[in-house]
Amino acid sequence: MAQPFSLATCDVVGFDLDHTLVRYRLAQSAPLIYNSFAHYLVTEKGYDKELLTPSPESWDFCCKGLVLDLEDGNFLKLANDGTILRASHGTKMMTSEELLEVYEKRKWKHFKSDSEMACRSAQYYFYDNYFDLPGSLLCAKLVDCLTRNGVQKPFEFWKDIVAGIQHNYKISAFKENCGMYFPEVKKDPGKFLQKCPASVTRWLRQLKNAGKVLLLITSSHSDYCRLLGEHVLGSDFADLFDIVITNALKPGFFSQIPNQRPFRTLENDEEGESLPSLEKPGWYSQGNAAHLYELLKKMTGKPEPKVVYFGDSMYSDIFPARHYSKWETVLILEELGVGDGVVSGQGEAEPREKKGKYEGQQAKPLSSKSEQWGSFFVDAISGTENTEESSEFTWACKRIQTYSTIAIPSVEAIADLPLDYQFTRFSSTGLKTAGYYPGPPRDLFSNGEPEMPS
């Protein structure tokens, strides 16, 4: 039986920023992200103007956990053993027969054992966070357009997607008012950002007063981080944290060993000199987890301080923090906070996030269950007759259970709990529905609990 997890036993509590402490109004932020790419592709790269007008119902295509096979233009939903559960060519779902024509025995050739498979490569791209998902719809529509124009494969649009990322999100884009994304957020932050409730700021202060070292580690640059923090947490948000690290370039922040990036000083949001080591708390840029941990040893007075890190991205936050740094990890999974309830410990449905809500609009289309792709957590292999017996965990769900200590719908969901609250952690030997707070998603019980190979 796995030992329960408690924040009281942690010496250091770290947080990602975007979609973790800062929650977005997804109904507004997703179209902005989509348009920032689509406008660039149409005006700068000459793609079809059809990309500029996605229909409202087309957003159902977006689903975390999909992988884009860049060569074939296919989107795949994988089981934990690499079996393809569902697939589409562009936005058009593939039949079981079409799938078998492309993928022998429904197996994806790039699949490897879990820790060996990168989430991004020249051959494929996994979609695992809300900044990514609008891009999945855009890429699917790109494939539709190219297919209608006679392009079969290989599909070579990815270089233009990367150019769009560079144009809209390069480190100087916020300061230069470049692209479409940053100018819109700067003009009206409240349109895209949800105010953080007082319960969360009280909880952060409670952690600090209990002697915890608090970290903020974000890949956002310092100027955007400051705008987000001040709008969501207040003008004194930086005082809530002992160490703030921006432009962290995750997952490399955790995984670039032994060639770690040095920390850099910051002055007026400009990166300065590189530092051979991290000597004191403060606000820094870039850096690496190894040098950070040496400072944490000094700050806590412990040879092996216990760190927990909260984040929303398996690729950037949870997997590297656990796999490389051996930190405890808390996955922010908004999919636990929508739909018709989670299953409580007594097996009864209860309202999600019943302890309160963030201010403002609550519509979150990207975190809603996709009718096209089905459950993010579990699925049957399409084209088989006995769907109950073939029900399997998705690859994305297996990674949650493998690399997360617990998964919660939001920081707010636990802010009113005592610091010594005992969470049931994910465990390879325990129930596969354990680890979710306030309870597991109902989809895991649609056909009884699926079997998970060890």
Catalytic residues: 16, 18
Cβ neighbors of 401 (< 8 A, separation 6 or more) are: 393, 426, 432, 435, 452
Cα–Cα distance, 199 to 411 (Å, whole number): 10
- For 252, other C-beta atoms within 10 Å of its C-beta total 18
The amino acid present at 127, given as its one-letter code, is: Y
347: left (phi over 0), alpha (psi -120 to 50) or beta: left
| DSSP string over 169-218 | HSTTHHHHT-SSHHHHHHH-HHHHEEPPPHHHHHHHHHHHHTT-EEEEE-
SS (H, E, C) 101-116: HHCHHHECCCCCCHHH
Q: Is 423 helix (H, G, I), strand (E, B) or coil?
A: strand
Cα–Cα distance, 305 to 308 (Å, whole number): 10
- Tokens at 109, concatenated: 């050739």
Q: Is 129 helix (H, G, I), strand (E, B) or coil?
A: coil
Maximum pairwise Cα distance, the chain: 65
CA angle centred on 218, ends 279 and 320, rounded to 5°: 90
- Tokens at 121, concatenated: 């490569």
Cα–Cα distance, 222 to 44 (Å, whole number): 28
The amino acid present at 315, given as its one-letter code, is: Y
Closest CA to 46 of 157, 179, 123, 129: 157
